[in-house]
Amino acid sequence: MKRYFRLNWKALAPLFIGGTIVLCLAFAFAQRPRRVGQQTGSQTTVQGKPAIINVKAGGDLQKAINAARPGDTILLEAGASFIGSFTLPFKASSSSAFITIRTSTPDSLLPPPGTRITPAFSALLPKLLSPGQGLSALKTASGAHHYRLIGLEFSTVRPTDLVYDLIALGEANSNQSQLSQVPHHLSLDRCYLHAWPDQELKRGISLN
């Protein structure tokens, strides 16, 4: 005696709908941009996707710079202070994509590109500060390339700090004796560099 079974498609419909929703959510999760943690450096990665690296006040800026890859953007908390000295390292990459280090303040609140920023915008800018002792707030490693700085403020921690160059791009010594050692493709856009009143400061930017 043969027995026949009939599928109840109406009963199975919720299972098919639920499975479809799970697959869609899994795909959307896999496509989200890569983000790097504020201090731990932990990250979830989608191959080829640029990262947005958020560094809040008290975060490890140098660690974020070291972890950044061409195309990534490091967002520094507006108004937060970061005490250097910081180094833009050489990235062994042939990519022409820039690593951008910028304020978390949106462009709509900054002066338009191509115009000079003023001290009135200081509260919107993260501060990269030299600790003195002749150290720059920011410098480049040999051969560093493709960095873009937007909406950053550079100064010293105290008005008595001794600094020769707030930003040192390249070196005027034997460490830079070959063309491959010369930093290149470096952009400073709407950055505010200054000393304290009555402070002696030799250069805002040294360019070698």
> Cα 88–91–92 angle (5° rounding)?
160
What mean pLDDT comes out for the span 118-128?
98
Q: Say what the pTM is.
A: 0.77
pLDDT tens digits, 130-144 = 999 999 999 999 999
CA pair distance 124, 182, nearest whole angstrom: 32
Tell me what pLDDT residue 28 has: 42
pLDDT-derived band at 94 (thresholds 50, 70, 90) equals confident
In our burial notation (b when 16+ CB lie closer than 10 A, e otherwise), range 45-71 reads eeeeebbebbbeeebebbbbbebbebb
